[in-house]
Copies of this chain bind each other. A is one copy, B any other.
Amino acid sequence: MTDYNTIRYEIDDGLLRLTLNRPDQMNSFTVEMAGELEDAYNRASSDDAVRVIVVTGEGKAFCAGMDLSGEGNAFGLDESLTPTMEDMGSWPLRPEIESGVRDTGGQIALAMYDCLKPIVGAINGAAVGIGATMTLPMDIRLASTKARLGFVFGRIGITPEACSTWFLPRIVGLEKALELFYRADILSAEEALEVGLVRSVLQPEDLVEEACTLARSLVKDRSPVGIALMRQMTLQNSAQPHPRAAHEVESLGVFYTSQEDGKEGVAAFLEKRAANFTGKASKMPPFYPWQKG
């Protein structure tokens, strides 16, 4: 099944179900879980057996936030350091910055951003702090009526993380993002729906099945290479200052796909039959990745 301690990684016919699996601790977040989630998203991105991903939590909670029960710095940070913006901008990061400063939630968010497969969230219960922010890089979020979402960083005197100051305004707009961060309230599923954080609210017993049905519908009869490029092109190009950046990437996207799965797709269209795509996301066209690390 899986070689992870804090999550389950289960593939069924192209769908990866990723389950946060510390139910007795409300799936609270640890440094170990951070590393396992980042690894799981990277693995899913390159594994052709995975076409789409559904993420949920075992038991009552989705993820109740950072596990604050440990000793020392609650966030695992090395308080002897005095890091600067220059330190954070020097990639690859120096080892002590990587291990003692770098936000673990952000590492997961960037792995999700880079992922070549669509990600659907099935938020089954409390999703608080990192439990809330780790859902933002997903393509679609579904919530059960028992879901609760809270960007609670302000309550404990810290700041948002997991790239949420980039993702949240793109999902709910700048003003609502600011207010959600200031207020740090725990939202009900209905409130999360109203503010635009989740796509729909479902009965708890239907949540995961609906999420899987939706997830499969996104990739059915599609080219894995086409889906991967669409995800990366949309996420990356839409944030560029000028549409010409999109034009340059899109030109290569059509150029290369039209010679692979596109040939079969056009033939199938003209012959009025189903297409049989053979491309693999593990073999992306040569211009990918177009943004250098």
Contacts and interface: CB of A to CB of B under 8 A. Distances in A.
Interface of A: 68-69, 73-75, 77, 79, 81-85, 88-89, 101-103, 106-107, 109-110, 113, 118, 137, 139-140, 153-171, 173-175, 177-179, 181-184, 199, 217-219, 221-223, 225-227, 229-231, 233-255, 257-266, 268-270, 275, 277, 279, 286-287, 290-291
Given A230-B154, A234-B178, A160 B258 contact: no
* Chain copies in complex: 3
Nearest to A246: B166
A151 to B, nearest CB: 9
A74 B246 CA distance: 21
Contacts of A248: 85, 88-89
Contacts of A157: 222-223, 225-226, 257, 260-266, 275, 277, 279
A250 B160 contact: yes
A241 B243 contact: no
B182 A118 contact: yes
A226 B158 contact: yes
A238 B177 contact: yes
Contacts of A236: 242
A279 B169 CA distance: 26
22 contacts: A73-B259, A74-B262, A81-B255, A84-B286, A85-B287, A88-B252, A101-B251, A102-B251, A110-B247, A139-B178, A155-B222, A156-B275, A157-B225, A158-B254, A159-B257, A161-B253, A162-B250, A166-B238, A181-B230, A182-B222, A239-B240, A241-B241
Nearest to A163: B243
B241 A170 contact: no
B287 A110 contact: no
Contacts of A137: 243
A239 B84 CA distance: 21
Nearest to A151: B230
A262 B219 contact: no
B139 A85 contact: no
A155 to B, nearest CB: 7
B165 A238 contact: yes
A163 B253 CA distance: 12
A170 B238 contact: yes
A30 B223 CA distance: 25
A174 B277 contact: no
A252 B175 contact: no
Given A158-B257, A239-B240, 16 more contacts: A68-B266, A74-B262, A77-B258, A77-B259, A84-B252, A84-B287, A139-B182, A154-B227, A154-B230, A156-B275, A157-B266, A158-B261, A160-B230, A167-B246, A181-B234, A182-B218
